[in-house]
Structure 1
Amino acid sequence: MTRKTYTLLGADRVPYDSPTSGTLGGHRKGRIYGRLDCPTALRAIAKGGYVTQRVFFADEATAIAAGFRPCAVCLPQEYAAWRRAGERCVS
């Protein structure tokens, strides 16, 4: 019996094999992460785009540590907090 493995992105942005699937998806080039059912990501995938840049994360902490930001569409509260934090750093 062969066990399925999933390729996830670590905090160091290096892919690794995991016995469990990721809980969040992301776009490598845009450095954005969001829910797996994000309507914006699903639309891009349906149009044939996005897939080659798709990455997966075990959790939100890993996505943030890897330098990705939350999606404004599917994670609006997290995105707003990220924006507020960035505004404080600029001042």
Structure 2
Amino acid sequence: MPGDSNRTWELTGKDDKPYDSVQKGSLGGHRRSHIYGRLDCRAALQAIARGGYVANRVFFLNETAAEAAGYRPCAVCLPQDYALWKAGKV
């Protein structure tokens, strides 16, 4: 995007600590529930619309970072990944 060349985003790293990144995160998460999912997740967007969720929202560069930080996949927007996680295969 024009004008974004100097923009940074706050992402959450593998150590569950925030850091500034020149690359936008591809996944969102909730710090208290330790669940991550797609940015267009229906469940997350509904929670955001109700309020309260935004204060605990975090962003990840990718699934590897989210899982390394101790987050699990969302059952709503990532059902296959969630099924693998639940079965203990991740």
Please report the TM-score for the alignment, with normalisation by the length of structure 2.
0.91
Taking every aligned residue pair, what percent have the same amino acid on both sides?
59
Q: How does 1:15-30 map to 2 (within 5 A)?
A: 15-30=18-33
Name the aligned partner's letter for residue 28 of structure 1.
Answer: R
Partner of 2:8: 5
Name segments (4+ residues, structure 1) moved above 6 Å. none
Please report the TM-score for the alignment, with normalisation by the length of structure 1.
0.90
1:49 Cα offset (Å): 2.1
1:20 Cα offset (Å): 1.1
**Counting helix residues as a fraction of each chain, which structure ranks higher?**
1
Secondary structure at the counterpart of residue 24 of structure 2: coil
Q: Which moved more, 1:23-32 or 1:43-52?
A: 43-52
Question: What RMSD over aligned residues (CA atoms) do the two structures have, in Å?
Answer: 1.4
Partner of 1:61: 64
Q: How does 1:30-41 map to 2 (within 5 A)?
A: 30-41=33-44
Partner of 1:82: 85
Partner of 2:45: 42
**Deviation string, structure 1 residues 49-73 (Cα, Å, up to 9, x no partner):** 2100000000000000000000000
For structure 1, the residue ranges without an aligned partner over 5 or more in a row are 87-91
For structure 2, the residue ranges without an aligned partner over 5 or more in a row are none
Name the aligned partner's letter for residue 19 of structure 2.
Answer: Y
